[in-house]
């Protein structure tokens, strides 16, 4: 392991947890120790992803106590196996998955993850988005996993329980090209409520989304499932909607929203629909929530990946910054007048 400590400002660009999660993942994979400072000052609890990565790598960790704004991480070897994490809050299980998944692809054996927390939380992908949209896209890189939702959990109680199985990849990830957006051929979705919230709210979100989508895509079939989560399979009260569009070239695009107090359910559905419509108008091949999640896989892959992203988000630019800081991967944003922007990466071909 390299003993030269890489220092990273956790407040750079987008800041927040993304810099910490990506830094931890690259640190574990490359066995490069890191010091991340200026991490979300005022947090009530340390980022659980830090402790999870310590366990996965049998590494050493300094500064992960409550209220800490700085951590130093010395990774060991990534070891496949069974891991459990529970923040005791509605913290997103998907953020725990984001930091651990790329690393466990290169473990010595398949792994099982059991996470507790929020399954449909603000400021994180809803678990439905990950399964409906992210999972089939990342599989193109030959990165694969399965997921079983035991219970769903919502703010503020959390309490969701999710099991992941992560398969090891071949010797390296495969570079991908996703450049032709195509035309939308079908749209499906899931509108849900849980706890004391009535099923009519799920219908309201779905109806709002369907009206908006049918106006934008009059010749496309739109089907949105309306669900009242069984009480024994959900903890707390929650509502939301996730939409997925499939195009003629096989692209998968999403839009989502969570219900909020004081916001009409129809407006929640319309918000998710408008997100999806905007992505289609931009002729992007991936949506704004997926594009930054693909950066780490593009960097790790062997060869040149090219993905039409429409326009980069600050999250994506932040992910690129960390990837180039810690690896030999090189990213380029290709602009051609009014055409959608292409994100290109010469991956460094990480091997187990």
275 is in an annotated binding site: no
CA distance to 91, 246, 312, per residue, from 207 (Å): 29, 20, 31
How far is 220 from 216, CA to CA, in rounded Å? 9
50 is in an annotated binding site: no
154 is in an annotated binding site: no
321 is in an annotated binding site: no
Q: How many CB atoms lie within 10 A of CB 196?
A: 8
290 is in an annotated binding site: yes
Asked if 276 and 213 touch (Cβ cutoff 8 Å), the reply is: yes
- Starting at the edge strand found earlier in the chain, the sheet holding 60-62 runs 6-9, 34-37, 70-74, 60-62
Catalytically active residues are 315
Beta strands in the chain (DSSP E): 6-9, 34-37, 60-62, 70-74, 82-85, 111-117, 145-153, 160-166, 177-178, 184-194, 221-228, 234-235, 238-247, 252-258, 302-310, 330-334, 341-348
Asked if 143 and 176 touch (Cβ cutoff 8 Å), the reply is: no
> Binding site for ATP: what residues are annotated?
98, 289-293
Binding residues are: 98, 289-293
């Amino acid at each position: 392991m390299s003993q030269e400590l890489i220092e990273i400002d956790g407040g750079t660009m987008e800041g927040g947890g993304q810099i910490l999660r990506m830094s931890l993942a690259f640190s574990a994979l490359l066995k490069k120790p890191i010091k991340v400072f200026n991490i979300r000052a005022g947090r009530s609890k340390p980022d659980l992803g830090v402790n999870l990565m310590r366990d996965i790598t049998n590494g050493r960790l300094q500064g992960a106590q409550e209220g800490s704004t700085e951590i130093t991480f010395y990774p060991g070897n990534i070891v496949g196996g069974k891991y459990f994490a529970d923040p005791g809050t509605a913290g997103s299980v998907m953020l725990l998955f984001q930091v651990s998944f790329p690393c466990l692809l290169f473990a010595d054996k398949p792994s099982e993850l059991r996470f507790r927390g929020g399954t449909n939380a603000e400021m994180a992908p809803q678990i439905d988005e990950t399964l409906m949209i992210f999972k089939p896209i990342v599989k193109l890189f030959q990165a694969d996993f399965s997921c079983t939702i035991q219970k769903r959990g919502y703010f503020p109680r959390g309490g969701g329980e999710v099991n992941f199985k992560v398969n090891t990849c071949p010797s390296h990830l495969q570079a991908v090209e996703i450049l032709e957006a195509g035309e939308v051929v079908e749209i499906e979705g899931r509108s849900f409520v849980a706890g004391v919230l009535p099923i009519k709210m799920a219908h309201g979100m779905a109806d709002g989304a369907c009206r908006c989508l049918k106006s934008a895509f009059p010749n496309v079939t739109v089907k949105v499932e309306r669900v009242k989560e069984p009480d024994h399979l959900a903890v707390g009260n929650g509502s939301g909607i996730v939409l997925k569009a499939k195009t003629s070239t096989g692209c998968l695009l999403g839009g989502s929203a969570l219900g909020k107090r004081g916001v009409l359910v129809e407006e929640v559905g319309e918000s998710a629909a408008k997100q999806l419509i905007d992505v289609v108008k931009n002729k992007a091949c991936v949506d704004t929530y997926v594009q930054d999640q693909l950066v780490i896989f593009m960097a790790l892959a062997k060869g040149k990946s090219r993905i039409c992203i429409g326009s980069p988000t600050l999250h994506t630019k932040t992910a690129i910054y960390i990837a180039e800081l810690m690896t030999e991967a090189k990213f380029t944003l290709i602009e051609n007048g009014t055409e959608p922007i292409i994100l290109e990466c010469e991956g460094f071909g990480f091997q187990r």
